[in-house]
Chain A
Amino acid sequence: MTTTEQPPGGTTTPTGTGSGTYADFTVGDPVADTRAPLDTPIAERWRQRTFDAKLVNPANRRKHTVIVVGTGLAGGAAGATLAEQGYRVLQFCYQDSPRRAHSIAAQGGINAAKNYRNDGDSVYRLFYDTVKGGDFRARESNVHRLAEVSVQIIDQCVAQGVPFAREYGGLLDTRSFGGVQVSRTFYARGQTGQQLLLGAYQALSRQIAAGRVEMHPRTEMLDLIVVDGRARGIVARDLLTGRIDTYFADAVVLASGGYGNVFYLSTNAKNSNATAIWRAHRRGAHFANPCFTQIHPTCIPRSGDHQSKLTLMSESLRNDGRIWVPKRKGDERPPREIPEEERDYYLERLYPSFGNLVPRDIASRAAKNVCDEGRGVGPGGQGVYLDFAEAIRRMGREAVAAKYGNLFDMYERITAEDPYEVPMRTYPAIHYTMGGLWVDYDLQTSVPGLFAIGEANFSDHGANRLGASALMQGLADGYFVLPVTLGDYLARLGGIERVDADHPATQEAVSFVTDRLYALLSNNGDRTPDSFHRELGTLLWDECGMARNDAGLRKALERIPALREEFWERIRVPGSGEALNQSLEQANRVSDYMELAELMCLDALHRTESCGGHFREESRTPDGEAMRDDDAFSYAAAWEYTGTGNAPVLHREALEFAYVHPTQRSYA
Chain B
Amino acid sequence: MTGAFIPLDVMASATDTGRRPSSLRVLWRSTIGKKTVMAVSGGILLLYLIVHMLGNLKIFAGSTSFNEYAEWLRVFGEPALGEGWLLWVVRVVLLTAVIAHIVAAWQLSRLDIRARPVKYAHGRRRATYATRTMRWGGVIIALFVVWHILDLTTGHVNPLGEEGRPYENVVATFSTWYGNTIYIVAMLALGLHIRHGFWSAAQTLGVNHPRRDRALKATATGLAVALTVGFVSVPIAVMTGIVS
Residues of A within 8 A of B (CB): 61-62, 86, 88, 90, 210-212, 214, 247-248
Contacts and interface: CB of A to CB of B under 8 A. Distances in A.
B2 A211 contact: no
A211 B1 contact: no
A330 to B, nearest CB: 47
Chain A residues touching B, majority SS: mixed
Contact of B5 (A61, A62, A247): A62
Given A62-B8, A210-B6, A214-B2, 18 more contacts: A61-B8, A62-B5, A62-B7, A88-B5, A90-B3, A210-B11, A210-B14, A211-B4, A211-B5, A211-B6, A211-B11, A212-B5, A212-B8, A212-B11, A214-B3, A214-B5, A247-B1, A248-B1
A88 B11 CA distance: 13
A214 B4 CA distance: 9
Contact of A86 (B1, B3, B8, B15): B8
Contacts of A210: 6, 11, 14-15
A62 B8 CA distance: 8
A469 to B, nearest CB: 35
Nearest to A247: B1
B178 to A, nearest CB: 57
Interface in B1-47: 1-8, 11, 14-15
Contacts of B6: 210-212
Contacts of A62: 5, 7-8
A62 B6 CA distance: 10
Contacts of A248: 1
Task: Specify which of A62, A90, A211, A214 lies most central, judged by the most chain B CB atoms within 10 Å of its CB.
Answer: A211
Nearest to B3: A214
The SS class assigned to the B binding surface is: loop
Contacts of A214: 2-3, 5
Contacts of A88: 5
A211 B3 CA distance: 8
A88 B5 CA distance: 8
A69 to B, nearest CB: 16
Contacts of B4: 211
Contacts of B11: 210-212
Contacts of A90: 3
Contacts of A86: 8
A549 B11 CA distance: 59
A444 B26 CA distance: 50
A614 B5 CA distance: 47
B183 to A, nearest CB: 53
17 contacts: A61-B8, A62-B7, A62-B8, A86-B8, A88-B5, A90-B3, A210-B6, A210-B11, A210-B14, A210-B15, A211-B5, A211-B6, A212-B5, A212-B6, A212-B8, A212-B11, A214-B3
A90 B2 CA distance: 10
A309 to B, nearest CB: 28
B228 to A, nearest CB: 43
Nearest to A500: B1
Contacts of B2: 214
**Closest 5 interchain pairs by CB?**
A214-B3, A211-B6, A86-B8, A210-B11, A62-B8
Contacts of B14: 210
A88 B4 CA distance: 11
Contacts of A212: 5-6, 8, 11
Contacts of B3: 90, 214
A507 to B, nearest CB: 16
A80 to B, nearest CB: 14
Nearest to A233: B1
A193 B181 CA distance: 62
A90 B6 CA distance: 14
B6 to A, nearest CB: 4
A4 to B, nearest CB: 44
A45 to B, nearest CB: 32
A211 B11 CA distance: 8
Nearest to A248: B1
B170 to A, nearest CB: 61
Nearest to B4: A211
A324 to B, nearest CB: 43
A212 B15 CA distance: 13
Nearest to B2: A214
A464 B5 CA distance: 43
A390 to B, nearest CB: 36
Most buried by A among B1, B6, B7: B1
Contacts of B7: 62
Nearest to B11: A210
Most buried by B among A61, A62, A88, A90: A62
Most buried by B among A86, A210, A247, A248: A210
Nearest to A245: B1
A307 B15 CA distance: 49
Nearest to B7: A62
Which of B5, B6, B7, B14 counts the most A-chain CB atoms under 10 A from its CB? B5
A140 B213 CA distance: 58
Nearest to A206: B15
A170 B6 CA distance: 41
A400 B9 CA distance: 54
A490 to B, nearest CB: 16
Contacts of A211: 4-6, 11
A88 B1 CA distance: 13
A214 to B, nearest CB: 4
**Residue among B2, B3, B11, B15 with max Cβ neighbours from chain A (10 Å):** B3
Contacts of B5: 62, 88, 211-212, 214
A470 B7 CA distance: 35
A247 B14 CA distance: 27
A157 to B, nearest CB: 23
Interface in B125-153: none
A211 B14 CA distance: 11
A96 B15 CA distance: 27
A205 to B, nearest CB: 14
Interface in B159-202: none
A276 B3 CA distance: 23
A247 B3 CA distance: 12
A195 B150 CA distance: 61
B93 to A, nearest CB: 43
Nearest to B6: A211
Contacts of A247: 1
A61 B5 CA distance: 13
A539 B21 CA distance: 65
A41 B68 CA distance: 100
B14 to A, nearest CB: 7
Nearest to B14: A210
A51 B3 CA distance: 34
A57 B15 CA distance: 24
B16 to A, nearest CB: 13
A62 B3 CA distance: 14
B2 to A, nearest CB: 7
A214 B14 CA distance: 17
A212 B5 CA distance: 7
Interface in B48-85: none
Nearest to A58: B8
A61 B14 CA distance: 19
